[in-house]
Structure 1
Amino acid sequence: RWTLFDSGTAFNGVVEELKKVTTRVAHVLPVSDDGGSTAEIVRVLGGPAVGDIRSRCLRLSDESTLEALSVRRLLGHRLPLDPSEAKLEWYHIVEGEHSLWDGVSRPYRETIRAFLVYFHNEILRRPVETFCFTNGSIGNFFFAGARIFFQSLDAAIFLFSRVSQIPAESLVLPVISTNDRLTLGCELWDGTIIRGQNEISHPSNGRREVVDKDCNSCSALPSSIKRVFYMSSEGCNLLHEVFPEANHTVLEQLSKVDCIVYAMGSLFTSVCPSLVLRGIGETIASRSIPKVLLLNGSHDRETIGLSASGFVTAITDSLNRTYGDPDKSLKYHPKDYVNAILVPEGGQIPLDVENLASKGIFHVLTVKSVHDTKVGVIFDPVSLIQALTGLISEHMDARLAEPDPLTENVTSVC
């Protein structure tokens, strides 16, 4: 089994290939995203962000039957960008009249529609807040309806997983199991505090619009990022820092998996928020297994100026909680958290091998890449999965070759 500290959309392209090799993966995802369709749900209804979780559930969903494909198409559908067109289409869907329902059998249809109706009733009960359906995700609406109905994020994930027929051994886990809204904060080295994940990674200057995740679409930060942390929903400075507990199931999975992977994507806003929680660093440091960093192929607003060793330092500082409360910090070395790095061929991030070696990291492997028009160089999915499985196999072979301390000094007596 693997544990994947995921960055949401960045790893989605690899999931289809990973499913061919193993479904025994725990996908650990943050719940602090506050952009796009998710932001509108959180603004009006509150609660944690579920966009990344919904996206991963759909990627893992069954595609073996026509009905499964129909359900996936319905829950993966987005409404138009025009507000009036989006609202009109939503009414056709929630009333059961839209062609997206074609191919969905009555039991599935009644189950899904019940939670869409529940979601719709919830937004109608808040007359002060006018809900904007622009680019809205039907899957997000279904998820929000289930979460509010059950008053449980875990129950909503369970229902969504069953409706989309995710393999039972595939786990989609929020790093924090909560029914409350979570706000991500960021402290820069110049002392600036930025509130909100989207303001850190893809600021919109207050405009309600589709988030442009093109790596060249944002201006640079005034200073590099020192750390990320959680803050109260109304907070605006370090006095409002809060310390939510890590999901117990995540800690349980980390204690028994065969490999830990830090996925590529937004380093500080997608990966590090899952690492700064108490118990995560302690558990990872205690494991003697492959701990693999998938290096980004391109810089973004968060990582401009960072080398490969800079990525490792960011992960180490997050897991050690270096710049937070000194009473809650750890002192583990980088090699305790990362012992292998996979690098996309032709990537932008400088590969400073000597600095990596000084941190105790010697296993660096270049993997075939492809070019994405939006984000630049990315891993070739097939080659990436082959490299990951190869690392695990090497580790298992090495463990098998080690002498058993209980028998290595035993001699045979005839």
Structure 2
Amino acid sequence: MFIALLKQALFAFKRDAPGRRTRMNQWFKWLAPGLFVKRWVLISAGGVFLALLGLSIWIKLTPIYYGIQLIETFLATITSLVPSYISGPLVMLGGIVLILWGQTRTVGSITEVLRPGSDRELVDVLIDHRRLSRGPRIVAIGGGTGLSTLLRGLKQYSANITAIVTVADDGGSSGRLRRENRVLPPGDIRNCLAALAAEEKLLTELFQYRFRAGEGLTGHSFGNLFLTAMMDITGDLERAAAASSQVLAIRGQVLPATLCDVHLWAELADGRKIEGESRISEAGGNIVKIGCIPGNPPALPKAVQAIREADLIIMGPGSLYTSVIPNLLVPEIAEAIACRDVPKIYVCNIMTQPGETQGYTVSDHVKAIDRACGRPLFDSVLAQSQVPSAQALIRYAQDNSHPVFLDREDLANLGRQVVVANVMDEDPQTGYVRHNSQFLGRVLLRWYARVQGIASKE
């Protein structure tokens, strides 16, 4: 009889509340390991018990004695009317429902305060936070749009990310602010902060917004002006990036490679020497040597420390000579990378870049990095596996750009391991080819896990 009544009650409970199953799943998530919730609930229950025990000792049990007698009389009356094997489970079920209801309302109230307007449950946020906080310590080095693309993929797997960004940009809005306000260029830092932000879509639109009118504002992005103001308030780009990271609630940290006012120069095969990051790719020659003024700039200490503590070091993608290599012109950065015995990988570009890498193969990219540093830094290279569509190839050929050829034999002679995967995203309308953030993050983390698994077996 009791089983039949219980079945009917459960059926009604399920029928009357279509969304209750989802809520039950959310309740059970609070029991997931690693949230540090169960232990505090038990400690709280123990505290309630001890408080009641102390109160009973203090008042010498007299009111409790009569209270127990009253409860005993009440329970005896109930069990005389309804058998104990029915009334007991029903009362127990009612108590459990009240507990779950109260806890749900409590968590809901906390969620409304901590995450107003969010559709995500607080328990899901906590689970993600714990998972990401246990992720590997990743250092990503580069600049331009390539690094921000990489960061969007990596932040899905770890919150322990450090982006080390070049400060050699001297074109566009960053270049104007650099010349007019005598500050380090904020553009690449801005892109990385937006990429690592929790509310990335809205922040990207805000930070990338460019003023179309206004004396002195035309052409500037809001993000560049924001960081310039933060530099003026905090004193330098490092503090400005740290303060902005707190405001934007980013996953990880963004650091400039150096706080020195660096200007790039390049020697071309025809003997010309070009100064200025924005002028190098516009010169249209073959680069044979790259350097900076002043030579051997000091590294940011936090950047060096991040490399020394890293579990995984990634460089690229991005413009080889104006975004990737400039970070390695800081000797302490290159030295710190060379000394680390952890998985290190270079993400090669998909297409060649006119004015920088025209005619380059994958091994040519690696040789250029080795030549700039005077030593091999990366033991692995990630290269694109599939060729872009015919429409994309025609579109890029008009600009004298072609897919970077994967020359496996030359890479093997250089002692590099090759990771080949499809990490490409192609716009079907414009034919533009870019790295796909999600593909890139997934491939790199799977490769890292595989390398770690092999190392642990050895």
TM-score (norm 2): 0.63
Return the offset for 1:374. Answer: 6.7
Name the counterpart of 2:421. 366
- Cα 1:349–1:257 change in 2 (3 A) is same
1:87-140 alpha-carbon deviations (Å, 9 max, x no partner)? 3xxxxxxxxxxxxxxxxxxxxxxxxxxxxxxxxxxxxxxxxxxxx322211121
1:7-32: CA deviations, max 9, x gaps? 22123334333222212111111111
RCO comparison, higher one (Cα < 8 Å, 6+): 1
Query: Cα deviation per residue 1:192-211 (whole Å; 9 max; x = unaligned)?
Result: 1111111112x4xxxxxxxx
Aligned to 1:154: 238
Aligned residues of 2:198 and 2:250 also touching (Cα < 8 A): yes
Find out whether 1:77 has 2:131 as its counterpart. no
Cα distance in 1 between the residues matched to 2:431 and 2:326: 21
Answer yes or no: is the 8 Å Cα contact 1:290–1:340 preserved in 2.
no
TM-superposition CA deviations, 1:171-196 (whole Å, max 9, x none): 10100024xx3211112233311111
Preserved contact between residue 31 and residue 182 of structure 1 (Cα < 8 Å)? yes
Q: Which residue of 1 aligns with 2:456?
A: 400
Structure 1 pair 287–7 and aligned structure 2 pair: CA distance change class (3 A) = same
Match of 1:340 among 371, 381, 384: 381
Task: Name the CA shift for 1:62/1:382 in 2 (closer, same or farther; >3 Å).
Answer: closer
Taking the aligned partners of 2:449 and 2:276, their CA distance within structure 1 comes to: 40
Distance 1:8 1:375, change over 3 A: farther
1:229 lines up with 2:365 in the alignment: no
CA RMSD of aligned residues (A): 2.2
Aligned residue number for residue 362 of structure 2:
308
Shift of 1:279: 2.0
For structure 2, list consecutive stretches of 5 or more residues without a partner in the other structure: 1-136, 389-402
Q: Which amino acid is 1:349 matched to?
A: V
Shift of 1:361: 1.3
Question: Secondary structure of the equivalent of 1:79?
Answer: coil
Q: Equivalents in 2 of 1:3, 1:388: separation in Å?
A: 12
SS at match of 1:162: helix
Q: Is the aligned partner of 1:176 residue 2:281?
A: no
The question of whether the paired residues in 2 share the 8 Å contact of 1:143 and 1:156 is answered with: yes
Residue identity opposite 1:24 in structure 2:
N
Distance, in Å, in 2 between the alignment partners of 1:136 and 1:189 is: 35
Per the alignment, residue 114 of structure 2 pairs with none
Distance in 1 (CA, whole Å) between partners of 2:296 and 2:417 is: 34
Between structures 1 and 2, the one with greater helix share: 2
Query: Which of 137, 141, 151 is residue 15 of structure 1 equivalent to?
Result: 151
| Counterpart Cα distance in 1 of 2:444 and 2:386 | 15
Deviation digits for residues 272-328 of structure 1, max 9, x if unmatched? 0001211222222222222111111111120001111100001111222xxxxxxxx
Partners of 2:241 and 2:226 in 1: CA distance: 11
Does residue 1:267 correspond to 2:320, yes or no? yes
Among all aligned residue pairs of Structure 1 and Structure 2, give the percentage whose two residues are the same amino acid: 28
1:355 to 388, 399, 410: 410
How far 1:368 sits from its partner (Å)?
4.0
What are the Cα deviations for residues 358-413 of structure 1, in whole angstroms up to 9, with x where unaligned? 101133323242214778433333222121011110121112112xxxxxxxxxxx
Structure 1 CA distance for aligned equivalents of residues 141 and 234 of structure 2:
26
Select the residue among 249, 261, 265 that pairs with 1:185: 265
SS of residue matched to 2:449: helix
Could you tell me which residue of structure 2 aligns to residue 114 of structure 1?
none
The alpha carbon displacement at 1:72 in A equals: 6.0
- SS of aligned partner of 1:44: helix
Contact kept? 1:369, 1:377, Cα under 8 Å: yes
1:384 to 426, 429, 440: 440
Contact 1:298 1:376 in 2 (8 A): no
Instruction: Please identify, of 154-163 and 16-25, the stretch whose mean Cα deviation from structure 2 is larger.
Output: 16-25
In structure 2, do the counterparts of structure 1 residues 374 and 299 end up closer, same or farther at CA, with 3 Å as the change threshold? Answer: farther
C-alpha distance 172-352 of structure 1, shift in aligned 2 (>3 A): same
Q: Secondary structure at the match of 1:4?
A: strand
Among 167, 170, 189, the alignment partner of 1:31 is 167
Determine helix, strand or coil for the equivalent of 2:214. helix
Which deviations, in whole Å up to 9, do the C-alpha atoms of 1:229-268 show, x marking residues without a partner? 112xxxxxxxxx5321111211111112111111111100
Deviations 1:67-95 (A, max 9, x none): x94x6654442101xxxx233xxxxxxxx
Deviation at 1:6, TM superposition (A): 2.0
User: Do the aligned partners of 2:297 and 2:330 also contact (CA within 8 Å) in 1?
Assistant: yes
